[in-house]
Structure formats: C-alpha cells, structure tokens
C-alpha cells in the first residue's frame, strides 16, 4: 500500500513548485452525439519525450479522436511552452498538475513517451485521482545515465547563418550520422526575420537532472489504476529486470513488447502501437 504521508508531503511540494503554463493542441471527439456529454469518454493526454513536441503526436491524436477527445501538450522548454532554467522531474509533474486543473474537469488517460513517461508516472503516483488510466512508452521508473551527447552537440550548432534546412542538415551530418535523428531534431528549427534558430531550450535541457533519482523522488508510492507499459523490441530502455520495478510502483501494470519497434514506437511500429492502444483503452 502507498504511504499516504509521503503522498501528502509530495503533493504539497509539487503545489509549491514554480510552474509554467503548458501549450497544447487539441483534437475534439468526433462523435458529436457524445461530445461534451456526461457519457463522453475520458480525454487522452499525450506527453512527448526529450527534444519532442506535441507536433510529433499529431497523427496519433487524429486517429484517437475517433474514440475520445485528445490533448497533446508541449512540456516546458519544448515546442510552444515557456522556457525555464529548471527542468526536473518535479517541475514536469507540477506543470502537468497545473495544466490538468486549468483545462480538464475529470480524470484523464495519460500517455507519456520516454521523458514524458517519467512525467506521467510521477503525476499518477502523486495525484492518482487525476489519472484514469496510465500508458508508459519505452521508459522505466528508475534512473538513467545521460546519453544524448551527440544530439546536444548538434543542437548547439549556430544555425543563424544558414539559408536553408538542407544546408543545416549537411552541417549536422558532420556531428550526427543518423538522418532520422537529424530530421527529428530539426523539427525544433524556427525561422523568423532574423533567420533560423532553435526553438528548444538547449542549455536548460543539457543541464537537466530529470533522469536521476526516480525511486528516491517517489518513495513508498503506488498508483493502483490500470497501467500499460510498452517497450520496443529494438530498444534497451526497458530491461527484463524493470518488470518487477513496474509492479512495485504500478501493481496493475502490464508490460508489452512491440515487435520490430525501436525507442520511437509510435513511428517505427505505428500500426501495432495504435492497435495496442485501442485494445488497452477499450478494455
């Protein structure tokens, strides 16, 4: 059983954390007869990972809006959300808590990928009444070593002098050899009257400590709601040894491996990802 004193203490700490107002995109529920009614299904909230944004989930959100309203948030220092020098796990949970209270009137299904998975797990553990169901995509409730050196090196490029994305990509290729990763990072490019710039807060994210101390940050807590953890067959983010850790924090958790998928399951195995999501949400 969860330690209620630990949860109360953490709730107070989260409520006292300095938050930012998260930007989000919205796909309304396509069933007009149920839209806005008491029978409308719980909304689905999609939370992206490091270097991502709500844009990465646009196609998933459009498909899922056949079944329920869908929100895709931009986490702090990403997308259209404000920048802030602090980027801890508590910060991200506090931002989601504020966002939920400002935009939703009932519990939601929360889905988080990678860094977003850590954030939604934290939200469910500290504020379980806000989370109807939980979906964690390719991340475990534990610490990880920093491992994005080449990506940060690419994002630290001064892109203001380039006249095209092709030129930027050619320069980035000298730093990061994988075209798919470069395309993903380049989704953070912004062009204005002064030329190109990065929309992401690179310095804050490079120094962020959210990868450390999950078990210490959420001691003696459990979320007893229905939980699904999806891992990619070709990804090493979730190990076999993590299954017991999932059960400690999330007793009702089921861990599923998606064949052929890498860390970005919603891209590399999108059809299987959507079908797995459908079955879980319908159950």
* pLDDT tens by residue, 196-231: 999 999 999 998 988 888 999 999 999 999 999 999
pLDDT of residue 109: 98
**10 with 48: CB under 8 angstroms?**
no
The vertex-49 CA angle with 139 and 208, nearest 5°, equals 90
Please answer whether residues 117 and 139 qualify as being in contact, where contact means their C-beta atoms are separated by less than 8 angstroms: yes
Question: Which of the four pLDDT bands, split at 50, 70 and 90, describes residue 143?
Answer: very high
Residue 211: what pLDDT?
A: 85
pLDDT band at 37 (very low <50, low <70, confident <90, very high): low
Question: Residue 194 has what pLDDT?
Answer: 84
pLDDT in tens, 9-28: 999 999 999 999 999 999 99
- Averaged over 118-135, what is the pLDDT? 98
| pLDDT value for 3 | 67
Rounded to 5°, angle at Cα 159 from 266 and 77: 50
Task: Indicate the DSSP class of residue 201.
Answer: -
Tell me, rounded to whole angstroms, the distance of Cα 75 from its chain centroid: 8
Are 186 and 168 spatial neighbours (Cβ–Cβ below 8 Å)? yes
Task: Return the ∠ at Cα 38 (arms to 33 and 39), rounded to 5°.
Answer: 60
Helix (H, G, I), strand (E, B) or coil at 223: coil
Residue 1 has pLDDT above 60, yes or no: no
Confidence of residue 6 (pLDDT cuts 50, 70, 90): confident
Average pLDDT, rounded, for the chain: 94
Model pTM score: 0.95
In whole angstroms, what is the distance from residue 106 CA to residue 91 CA? 22
CA distance linking residue 135 with residue 52, whole number of Å: 18
pLDDT bin (cut points 50, 70, 90) of residue 283 is confident
d(CA 44, CA 148): 29
Question: How far does the chain reach from its first CA to its final CA, in angstroms?
Answer: 25
CA–CA gap between residue 193 and residue 71 (Å, rounded): 31
Q: What is the mean pLDDT of residues 88-117?
A: 97
Q: How many residues does the chain have?
A: 283
């Amino acid at each position: 059983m969860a330690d209620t004193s630990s949860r109360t203490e953490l709730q107070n700490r989260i409520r006292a954390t300095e938050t930012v107002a998260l930007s989000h995109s919205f796909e309304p529920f396509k069933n007009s007869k149920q839209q806005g009614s008491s029978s409308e299904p719980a909304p689905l909230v999609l939370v992206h990972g490091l270097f991502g944004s709500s844009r990465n989930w646009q196609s998933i959100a459009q498909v899922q809006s056949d079944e329920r309203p869908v929100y895709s948030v931009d986490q702090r220092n990403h997308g259209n959300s404000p920048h802030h020098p602090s980027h801890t796990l508590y910060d991200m949970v506090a931002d989601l808590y504020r966002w939920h209270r400002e935009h939703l009137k009932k519990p939601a299904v929360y889905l988080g990928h990678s860094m977003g998975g850590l954030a939604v797990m934290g939200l469910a553990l500290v504020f379980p009444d806000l989370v109807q169901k939980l979906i964690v995509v390719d991340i475990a409730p534990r610490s990880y070593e920093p491992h994005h050196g080449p990506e940060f090196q690419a994002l630290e490029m001064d892109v203001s002098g380039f006249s095209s994305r092709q030129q930027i990509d050619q320069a980035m290729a000298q730093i990061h050899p994988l075209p798919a990763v470069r395309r993903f990072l380049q989704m953070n490019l912004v062009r204005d009257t002064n030329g190109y710039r990065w929309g992401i807060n690179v310095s804050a994210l490079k120094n962020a400590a959210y990868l450390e101390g999950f078990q210490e940050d959420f001691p003696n807590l459990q979320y007893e709601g229905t939980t699904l953890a999806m891992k990619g067959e070709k990804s090493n983010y979730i190990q076999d040894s993590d299954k017991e850790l999932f059960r400690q924090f999330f007793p009702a958790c089921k861990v599923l491996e998606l064949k052929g998928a890498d860390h970005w399951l919603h891209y590399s195995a999108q059809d299987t990802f959507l079908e797995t999501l459908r079955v879980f949400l319908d159950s």
